[in-house]
Structure 1
Amino acid sequence: MKKQNIKLSNLNNDDGCCGCSSTHTAPNSENKSRIKAYIPAIISFVMLVTGIALDYFEVSFFQDWLRLAWYSIAYIPVGFPVIKEGWNAIKRGDFFTEFFLMTIATVGAFAIGHYEEGVAVMLFYAVGELFQNSAVQKARGNIKALLDVRPNEALVYRGKKYSSVAPEEVTIGEKIQVRVGEKIPLDGILLSNKASVNTAAITGESKPSSLQQGDEVYAGSINLDGVIEIETTKAFNDSSIAKILHLVQNATSRKSKTELFIRKFARVYTPIVVFLAISVTLLPYFLVDDYVFQDWLYRALIFLVISCPCALVVSIPLGYFGGLGAASRNGILFKGASFLDAITKINTVVMDKTGTVTKGVFQIKEIKSYNSSESEMMQYLLAMEAQSTHPIAKALLEYKTESKKFEATDVKEIAGKGLKGIVNNKMVLVGNKALMTTNTIDAAVETETIVETIVMIAIDGKFSGYVTISDELKEDAHQAIKQIRDIGISNIIMLSGDKPSITEKIGRELKLQKAIGGLLPEDKLNEVEALKRIPGTKVAFIGDGINDAPVIAVSDVGIAMGGLGSDVAIETADVIIQTDQPSKIARAIKIGRSTRKIVWQNIALAFGVKLIVLILGAGGIATMWEAVFADVGVTFLAILNAIRLQRMQWS
């Protein structure tokens, strides 16, 4: 949703997106910019209060042209930006905006001599806009800036040496080198004997991939173990990571952007009020005998002052400000007030698995031993794994044993299968089922049905047991699903790049409607777009990886895990959960619903009171005191209602 804001000093537009860039100003500069934005309103406020005091004490020199000049100067800092926006809108063919109504209402107040009313009304409007902007800027300040996930350089073999060049300059068929911890810059074929890479950015796969010579490698993956060499097979613009970034860009452009209520309201309300005011001025000429133009013009101008939507333009942004603040205190960042509205319409929740409902960290799940105690079997296994740098080995080495540690010798790695070595003068095999089969060792039948990653061990030619490794569910995963159902959303789906068997198992454990694994980013995108084509379906997608960014962008509300989530996912999302707790999803929806409820209460209050006073004003009964109540009084009541959001508690 996009709301056009007036520019008060350095006030930025709230376009419903973060608007952050990779370069940020220093904190002192940002603080100065924020203070500068409030200067026009402060000047107008000081001059208004001073003018009202001079009027109250009937100071002799504060009369006629001096009084008009004083209030006119007070009006300009907050009024000129609104008049300018109204004029620009008229030039674009958009006559009936809130800027136009604010202008004619306040100028009308000046025309009938109520200068202080004109300044006060415009000041309230300006302060409301500043509140709105302050809320969004606060949220933006807590959101990580977008970092370019594309590799910055590629070490390409040219002229009998490796030279650093931009990935875009590397051609197909060239040889590149990737060091430990670096991102692979282009898609290609592995030339080195082996490699261990983290492909989470591309597939969302929770387990690092072990590759052999000749296997495909993808740009954006991270090299985990040793320097490797790759022969490029695609230009950078055709690489996997470039396609993901392209998907993000296109999905963002397809995301619907509707306007906040105040824009829709102004387009209907403003022309009605303007034409009614004209009617109040001119129609009595044909209906009454003692028609006096000045008297009816006076009523029409009072009518315009009463009709000024101050309560709405202040309390609506303030209501959203309260919602944004309440969410922020609960570790939830909305990138704009529009998404507080959008999240209330969600009826389908789709989520990633790894890093969203699971921790994304390997843990020992089960240990099963045969022919020996668990402790003894693990000593043999740990002695072997101590010789490996594989991520799974690191997870196994977290196992604590008080017994004396064994030492392994003559350890050899068998490509794609595991390890072979000597421990306590016994031949030990540690690895997968293929390793056991190759050495004619029969694994336990029960291992056939295990879906998690499994590490088997054989000692002296006998199958001795196994250890299963899995990615743990987050502590609040079950609670999160229950809370989402409790607020009336039953359609909960999981989409993951991880193994289908693991994804389906997690889906059953959480009792989800559907769980689909083995998906690439474009597959996830297709699944969500298919859901969105179902009439009445509004989808929220929750993810954390680069591979989730396209789906986050195209969903009606994109939610990212902000603690360990990728920068692209965080930047693309509409809502950020800072604590990485999936239980905050339901809380975000609750806050959005409460905010919307209070905003609509304020709308009803403002309309109800103003309708009554407008009728009285048109009949010549209402004075400027009633106008003040219909404007300032209702605004005050609406503000009190809006700040209730700051005190609410969400379980």
Structure 2
Amino acid sequence: MEKKVQIHKNHTTDDCCDTSSEVKTPTHSDNDGHEHDEETGEESLLKSRWRLWLSLTILLGFVAITQLFKVEIAKPVEIALMTIAYLLAGYNTLERAFRSLRRGDFFNEFTLMSIATLGAFYIGEYSEGVAVMIFYEIGELFQDLAVNRSKRSIKALLDVRPDTVTVRRNGTQQTVSPATVQIGETILVKPGEKVALDSTLLTDNASFNTAALTGESRPDTKRTGEVVLAGMINLDKVIELKVTTAFKDSKLSRILEMVQDATARKAPTQLLITRLAKVYTPIVFGLALAITLIPYFFMSTYVFNDWLYRGMVFLVIACPCALTVSIPLGYFGGIGLASRNGILVKGSNFLDVLTEINTVVSDKTGTLTKGVFKVQEVSPPPPDGGVNEELFIQLLAALENTSTHPVAKAVVEYANLQKTNWQGLKVEAVVEISGHGLKGVIGGKTVLAGNLKLLQKFNVSHPAELEQIVETIVVLAIENQYAGYITIADEVKEDAAQTVADLKALGIETVMLSGDKTTVVQKVADQLGIVRAYGDLLPEGKVEKVQELKNQGKKLAFVGDGVNDAPVVALADAGIAMGGMGSDATIETADIVIQNDQPHKIVSAIKIGKITKSVVWQNISLAMGVKVAVMLLGAGGIATLWEAVFADVGVALLAILNAVRIQQMKF
């Protein structure tokens, strides 16, 4: 995927007020099939501004000369000046209307506005026709500015990958394209530089700015062996990284692809307005024609130009610009706000889905808990048993070091933190007993380390109260004599309890599903305030539970991170993945990705969805209410083209400003 990508409003398509957020390559084919270079949004805006201000200058100069200084201007000169001003102001609109007509698309905003203003010229209202077109183009200009602004947060994400990377090859440092770096190679990153590829840290420790990926402003400190993702910014010193993922497969590359496709999925409200616009526009043309012609058959004083003027006023008022601009802009603003907060929403339709959620179903490990096992309690036998606490930890760590199981790693990590010299012990004849633990010989003595099933297998007696311990337990036995235990548990994330509480405040129930044993799941659920929690579930068990909830009429989101969560993420109304350390399958399947793995972002995502939908419906109500009122006044001959301008451009500007408001909100 190419890095150099432009995001801007598409000025070459003719859909009504197109605010599509497609990410376009530098060239494309227009509607006539001709290939041409496309202007950047800034270049297009600059040209539009120049034509618009020149047109406005001509109009204001004409008004000042004729109204303030009472200078008579010959009609041919007036027509010439107003025609120049009109063509300057209406260049974009007239061009798009012409292309629409060539394609047989008569009923669109550009044709509507062109007919209305040309009609004003026909009846001799030259300055009004120019004024309407100028104000309309001012509205278009504000629309472009708003769209460009709304895209900055997402466009910034597209710029976080560096073009080059320093790689160590054959004893030298070479600057190459990230796409050419192979998995396993060592790259160097200087202070202030962005990491180009997913890697593991070789240097002792380093601090990174992860805001582009996670929305988190605080520096993130990594240690040797920990994962560093593309897009992170090195903060303090030159570091070395070992590349673990090809450039095209990095998490950041996949995120960028998702961003490019995000707003292509339209919300139901957008689709409804699009469908209505196709019916609405021809009806408006028909009514304007009826207003102009039907009175001829009923009024003896009928004057064609007077009723044509009313018809033109009606057309300008009826222009659906406020709706077709502000609604997609509102959704795009919501997606941008989510992106700035480290939440990737893959389509505006999912913002609508989030507003309907009444149940959040969550995995436990890696979602509500950290997914990192830690030693919680150390309980060696009394000292008179011949094993003190230090020796107990040394024996346990020495034997567990022969295993790659997460529990074994937690034991070794704890022993290292306690600075016990377990490395000096020689472990021999190690046997791993599946589902039970380890057996080995240390210092000529047989040592067992594992769960209670291991003691039962070798008929080692142990205190009965050990059976009541909820956490994962690792027991030690020496020469078939019980020698103590430790407990290991996964840590609950700092914001997990607050997340559950805030969801409850929104009227949303939290349900927890896990493959962990039921006693552990229930303990975590009690700690977090979750009423319904289910453990000992295989992936198909999770699917059954979610389907059961859906059959009860629940509108639910499922939040998970593991490969086994992908099926149920796909089944949920809104699938949410923990994207920081989540599995690729789950991230690809999910509709929403939380990039920093913080559960509280679920609450933020739901609130952003609600705010976005609220703003969109505010705009719909405002636009329709004002337009209906002024259309009635226009049809009755009360409203002029000036009121029509307010009803169209004015309402559109108010709706745009209301939509832009979303981008200023903070979470």
What TM-score, normalized to structure 2?
0.67
C-alpha distance in 1, partners of 2:370/2:145? 40
C-alpha distance in 1, partners of 2:90/2:19? 30
C-alpha distance in 2, partners of 1:256/1:56? 42
* 1:50 alignment partner in structure 2: 54
* Alignment CA distance shift 1:642-1:409 (3 Å): closer
* 2:563 alignment partner in structure 1: 546
Matched residue type, 1:448: E
What's the CA shift string for 1:391-427, capped at 9, x where partnerless? 3222111112245545134242243243334445544
Matches within 5 A, 1:482-497: 482-490=501-509, 492-497=510-515
Structure 1 position 122, deviation (Å): 5.9
Secondary structure of residue in 2 paired with 1:413:
strand
Matched residue type, 2:47: I
Matched residue type, 1:55: L
CA RMSD of aligned residues (A): 4.1
Structure 1 position 579, deviation (Å): 1.7
Q: Is the 8 A contact 1:7 1:81 kept in 2?
A: no
* 1:604 alignment partner in structure 2: 621
* Alignment CA distance shift 1:47-1:571 (3 Å): farther
Secondary structure of residue in 2 paired with 1:398:
helix
Secondary structure of residue in 2 paired with 1:361:
strand
C-alpha distance in 1, partners of 2:159/2:588? 7
**Residue 639 in structure 1 maps to residue 656 in structure 2:** yes
Q: Is the 8 A contact 1:560 1:573 kept in 2?
A: yes
Matched residue type, 1:8: H
* 1:559 alignment partner in structure 2: 576
**Residue 258 in structure 1 maps to residue 296 in structure 2:** no
* Alignment CA distance shift 1:579-1:115 (3 Å): same
* Alignment CA distance shift 1:107-1:596 (3 Å): same
Structure 1 position 283, deviation (Å): 2.8
* Alignment CA distance shift 1:496-1:329 (3 Å): same
| Seq. identity, % | 44
Which protein has greater RCO, CA pairs closer than 8 Å, 6+ apart? 1
* 1:480 alignment partner in structure 2: 499
* Alignment CA distance shift 1:8-1:38 (3 Å): farther
Select which of 427, 438, 455 maps to 2:474: 455
Q: Which runs of 5+ in 2 are unaligned?
A: 1-7, 27-35, 66-72, 122-128, 161-261
Structure 1 position 351, deviation (Å): 1.8
* Alignment CA distance shift 1:271-1:41 (3 Å): same
**Residue 36 in structure 1 maps to residue 40 in structure 2:** yes
**Residue 367 in structure 1 maps to residue 375 in structure 2:** no
Structure 1 position 445, deviation (Å): 1.8
**Residue 615 in structure 1 maps to residue 625 in structure 2:** no
Of 610-619 and 60-69, the range deviating more from structure 2: 60-69
**Residue 379 in structure 1 maps to residue 390 in structure 2:** no
**Residue 573 in structure 1 maps to residue 590 in structure 2:** yes
* 1:433 alignment partner in structure 2: 452
Select which of 420, 428, 438 maps to 1:410: 428
What's the CA shift string for 1:371-397, capped at 9, x where partnerless? 345444212212322344443222111
Select which of 492, 503, 524 maps to 1:506: 524
C-alpha distance in 2, partners of 1:526/1:65? 75
What TM-score, normalized to structure 1?
0.69
Of 542-551 and 338-347, the range deviating more from structure 2: 542-551
Select which of 460, 469, 472 maps to 2:488: 469
* Alignment CA distance shift 1:33-1:591 (3 Å): farther
* Alignment CA distance shift 1:363-1:83 (3 Å): farther
Secondary structure of residue in 1 paired with 2:508:
coil
Matches within 5 A, 1:47-446: 47-58=51-62, 64=79, 68=83, 71-72=86-87, 75=90, 77=92, 80=95, 100-113=108-121, 114-115=129-130, 117-118=132-133, 120-121=135-136, 124-125=139-140, 128=143, 131=146, 135=150, 138-139=153-154, 142=157, 258-260=268-270, 261-267=272-278, 269-372=280-383, 373-399=388-414, 400-405=417-422, 407-416=425-434, 417-423=436-442, 426-446=445-465
C-alpha distance in 2, partners of 1:11/1:444? 79
Structure 1 position 256, deviation (Å): 11
Matched residue type, 1:49: W
Structure 1 position 300, deviation (Å): 0.6
Structure 1 position 287, deviation (Å): 3.3
* Alignment CA distance shift 1:141-1:339 (3 Å): farther
Aligned length: 521
Matched residue type, 1:440: N
Structure 1 position 476, deviation (Å): 1.0
Structure 1 position 564, deviation (Å): 1.5
Matched residue type, 1:412: V
Matched residue type, 2:40: K
C-alpha distance in 1, partners of 2:526/2:450? 28
Secondary structure of residue in 2 paired with 1:467:
strand
Of 474-483 and 628-637, the range deviating more from structure 2: 628-637
Secondary structure of residue in 1 paired with 2:108:
helix
Q: Is the 8 A contact 2:14 2:100 kept in 1?
A: no
C-alpha distance in 2, partners of 1:367/1:547? 32
Structure 1 position 484, deviation (Å): 0.5
Matched residue type, 1:477: A
Structure 1 position 290, deviation (Å): 0.6
Structure 1 position 578, deviation (Å): 1.9
* Alignment CA distance shift 1:522-1:576 (3 Å): same
C-alpha distance in 2, partners of 1:8/1:437? 75
C-alpha distance in 2, partners of 1:69/1:519? 74
Structure 1 position 35, deviation (Å): 6.2
Structure 1 position 563, deviation (Å): 1.4
Structure 1 position 436, deviation (Å): 1.8
